[in-house]
Amino acid sequence: MRAFQIKSFDTLPELSHAEMPKPGSGEIRIKTESCGLNFADLLMIEGKYQDTPAPPFTMGMEVAGVIDALGPDTAAPPVGTRVAVFAGQGGLAEYGCFPADRVVELPETMNPTDAAAFQIAYGTSHVALDYKARLQRGETLLVLGAAGGVGLTAVEIGKLMGATVIACARGNDKLEVARAAGADHLIDAKTQDIRDVCKALGGVDVVYDPIGGDQFKAAFRACNPEARILPIGFASGEVPQIPANHLLVKNISVMGLYWGGYLKFRPEIVTNSLRTLLEWYEAGRIKPHICQVFPLEQAADALELLRSRKSTGKVVVTID
């Protein structure tokens, strides 16, 4: 079968031929239809992601397709069931074997492209805002990187939860995407001061931050007393250092959120969240924003679009 693989951290990933995998006990095999890309995929190429496997391995963290085989003694939906899986790796291939307990059955109304773009972005934002930050109706939410894969879902979910949403992104095109997702106020990170704009709007109660760096610092200074800050990632490349004395004075809470980590110690947090999100999808309340779809042969181009920061929402690779 064809698979887009990292052979070593000293070379670029490439499309190559690999053996057809066989599912072990507790696993299912999926005939892959689509795979969503994430910023974490770029970190994996350099061996910098916290859950990077040892090479060689097949890239692709979130997968949608059809179950085509079950491993021995495996309790799972039957062969032929349409499913999505948060895989961690293995999605950019024609077939992949994954833990059966991570399988999410797809509603009939969900197409494979939406399914591949759904789990990580929506799951991260929903668990962050609902379970961790306990975002309340009427509070003000600041979303950094608001046109990106996770940021855009935070805008959408924050608005659904009744918050006033301030979206921060770079350039008018990206800000218009955030406005369409429900943002009430817009900040151009290239030309405007995040702190000044937020303070003029009354300050912020929750900060959703996949960026880090200087934007984190500015957002921190715009926080109201008892604000909650959610570090989601560090797309800027700079991990911010947090002044604990300022946390104390303003009673601010900083809550780290690694969505995939819950699968290891509190999987019900993820499954309950996805159940809610799929209900919202079926009701037409949320809809993944997919910037561009690439075939497997152009997986390298898809990753480059992500790396260039020119994408909005999600980038998806389809496998024929």
pLDDT in tens, 260-274: 889 888 988 988 899
In this predicted structure, what is the pLDDT of residue 246? Answer: 87
User: What is the overall mean pLDDT for the chain?
Assistant: 94
Q: Residue 305: pLDDT band by 50, 70, 90 thresholds?
A: very high
| Closest C-alpha to 30, from 8, 62, 5 | 62
The strand pairing partners of 229, in sequence order, are: 207, 254
- What is the torsional sign of CA 174, 175, 180, 181? positive
DSSP secondary structure, the chain, as one string? -EEEEE--TTS--EEEE-PPP---TTEEEEEEEEEE--HHHHHHHTT-STTPPPSSEE--SEEEEEEEEE-TT---PPTT-EEEEE-SS--SBSEEEEEGGGEEEPPTT--HHHHHTTHHHHHHHHIIIIIIS---TT-EEEESSTTSHHHHHHHHHHHHTT-EEEEEESSHHHHHHHHHTT-SEEEETTTS-HHHHHHHTT-EEEEEESS-HHHHHHHHHTEEEEEEEEE---TTS-PPPP-HHHHHHHT-EE----GGGHHHH-HHHHHHHHHHHHHHHHTTS----EEEEEEGGGHHHHHHHHHTT---SEEEEE--
CA distance 26 to 39: 29
**Residue with the larger pLDDT of the pair 122 and 87:** 122
In this predicted structure, what is the pLDDT of residue 146? Answer: 96
In this predicted structure, what is the pLDDT of residue 124? Answer: 95
In this predicted structure, what is the pLDDT of residue 143? Answer: 98
Assess whether pLDDT exceeds 90 at residue 315.
Answer: yes
| CB-based contact 289:122 (threshold 8 Å) | no
In this predicted structure, what is the pLDDT of residue 271? Answer: 85
In this predicted structure, what is the pLDDT of residue 317? Answer: 97
Mean pLDDT to the nearest integer, 3-13: 92
| CB-based contact 144:175 (threshold 8 Å) | no
In this predicted structure, what is the pLDDT of residue 51? Answer: 83
Q: Residue 81: pLDDT band by 50, 70, 90 thresholds?
A: very high
Vertex 105 angle, CA 178 and 58, to 5°: 75
Mean pLDDT to the nearest integer, 245-265: 91
In this predicted structure, what is the pLDDT of residue 28? Answer: 96
Report the side by side order of strands in the sheet with 253-254. 185-188, 164-169, 140-143, 204-209, 223-231, 253-254
In this predicted structure, what is the pLDDT of residue 101? Answer: 87
Residues 273-291 have pLDDT tens digits of 998 999 999 999 999 999 9
Assess whether pLDDT exceeds 90 at residue 84.
Answer: yes
List of long-range contacts for 256-261, beta carbons under 8 Å, 24+ apart: 256/230, 256/231, 257/124, 257/127, 257/128, 257/132, 257/230, 257/231, 257/232, 258/50, 259/120, 259/123, 259/124, 259/127, 259/128, 260/51, 260/86, 260/88, 260/120
Residues 28-57 have pLDDT tens digits of 999 999 999 998 899 899 888 888 889 999
CA distance 230 to 132: 8
Domains of the chain: 2-118+288-318 (3.90.180.10), 121-257 (3.40.50.720)
Residues 144-186 have pLDDT tens digits of 999 988 999 999 999 999 999 999 999 999 999 999 999 999 9
Tell me what percent of the residues of the chain surpass a pLDDT of 90: 79
**Residue with the larger pLDDT of the pair 309 and 254:** 254
CA distance 44 to 21: 22
In this predicted structure, what is the pLDDT of residue 92? Answer: 97
Inter-CA distances, 72 with 28, 65, 103, 303, Å: 9, 20, 16, 35
CA distance 124 to 49: 16
Assess whether pLDDT exceeds 90 at residue 313.
Answer: no
Tell me what percent of the residues of the chain surpass a pLDDT of 70: 100
Residues 193-214 have pLDDT tens digits of 999 999 999 999 999 999 999 9
